[in-house]
Structure 1
Amino acid sequence: MSKGKLAVNILLTVVSIAFPLIWLFSPQMHTLSQILPYIMAILWGLKAMQTVRFQRFFAIFMACLLVFISVTRNLDTMYWYPVIISGVMLFFFGSSLFSAQSLIERLARLQTPELPPQAVRYTRKVTQVWCGFFVFNIAVTSHLIVQEQYQYWALYSGVISYILMGMLFVGEWGVRKIVMAKNNS
């Protein structure tokens, strides 16, 4: 990965994680909340120039959506940003369940090209767990938006969902080590 692509990915990740918290404090940071959609649109535009196929289409879509939000000043639409991201992740993970290799299996084969059948079944189950996480994330975030619980939305979208994601990642890593040890003995 080139340094420019890595920098765009890191900036986009940091801004995406930080923006719910910035949004929460927007009365004190009004100028920042006004320019935040422009910043995010530029980052998505840069990402579009660095990717191909569906990733490019999605990056262009996100850049256009953020420009639309910025121009129309419909900043309430920004609350739906985490839902859109989770929806796209659900699409990637979920659609891979209908292909020969799940997304997690493809990632696992980068490290271990020859996976045994039990590992293939395990990766499919992990992909299903991640789909469940994204459905849960969409449901919680959407509920908080519809109920206009914006402080809880900021806390969930900017902190709790990432903690849950990290716990799922670390938990899966631990379970995988146990499963691998069990299958190797």
Structure 2
Amino acid sequence: MSRLLGLVLLLAGLAYPFAVYYGLDHLSPRFFALLLGGLWLARLLSRDARPGSRWMALAALGFCALLGVLDQPALLHWYPVLISALLLVLFGLSLRIGMPLVERLARLREPELPAVAVRYTRQVTGVWALFFLANGLVAAALTLWAPTSWWLLYNGLISYLLMGLLFAGEWLVRQRVRRFA
């Protein structure tokens, strides 16, 4: 059930910029608040909710509550900024507290990582944190100063392409690092 909910949240995140773009003229921001809030509440209440996902869900629910109370269409554009900020905090805190996030993910496949891989995963975690910082700043700038069509193009396409490129580039570098380890 938790995987299905995670998939639904992912798909909602992918569709969100398009839904906002096309729904601004036809739907109330309260509708978006209810829809997103319901998904995040389900995530918060799921049995498999991890501590990191709990505070992220609470932050997203806070945003949904604010959106529902204020009912301001302009707030809809800030959701991608919020998600980037939450991911920045998640990746960034993992560099300070406990095991870096990318190392945790790597250890799911290979529990006994060599020291070179541990150093590498720490660096990759930092790169992802920087990516989410830059992504959030671009999304905020577009929210503040660009037309909605530019906001849609970046948040609905370009940011996902950049994530895909970073993921693919990291995978290629990882293969090279593994050969020399």
Q: Please give the TM-score of this superposition, normalised by the length of structure 2.
A: 0.90
Deviates more, 1:134-143 or 1:48-57: 48-57
What whole-Å deviation, never above 9, does each CA across 1:70-111 have from its counterpart, x for those lacking one?
243122112111111111111111111123521111111111
1:18 maps to 15
Change in CA separation of 1:69 and 1:123 when aligned onto 2, cut-off 3 Å: same
Matches within 5 A, 1:120-159: 120-159=118-157
Q: Partners in 2 of 1:181 and 1:132 — Cα distance?
A: 26
* Aligned-partner residue type, residue 84 of structure 1: L
1:74 maps to 72
Q: Partners in 1 of 2:29 and 2:86 — Cα distance?
A: 24
Q: Please give the TM-score of this superposition, normalised by the length of structure 1.
A: 0.88
Moved over 4 A (4+): none
SS of match in other structure, 2:35: helix
1:61 maps to 59
Q: Partners in 2 of 1:73 and 1:32 — Cα distance?
A: 7
Contact 1:21 1:155 in 2 (8 A): no
Q: Work out which of the residue numbers 2, 7, 14 in structure 1 matches 2:4.
A: 7
Indicate whether 1:41 and 2:29 are aligned.
Answer: no
How much identity, in percent, do the aligned residues show? Answer: 36
Please tell me the root mean square deviation across aligned C-alpha atoms, in Å: 1.8
Deviates more, 1:147-156 or 1:49-58: 49-58
Contact 1:145 1:153 in 2 (8 A): yes
1:112 maps to 110
What whole-Å deviation, never above 9, does each CA across 1:121-143 have from its counterpart, x for those lacking one?
11111111111111110111111
SS of match in other structure, 1:113: coil
SS of match in other structure, 2:96: coil
Contact 1:94 1:128 in 2 (8 A): yes
Q: Work out which of the residue numbers 175, 178, 181 in structure 2 matches 1:180.
A: 178
Q: Partners in 1 of 2:131 and 2:57 — Cα distance?
A: 23
> Where does the alignment leave 5 or more consecutive residues of structure 2 unmatched?
none
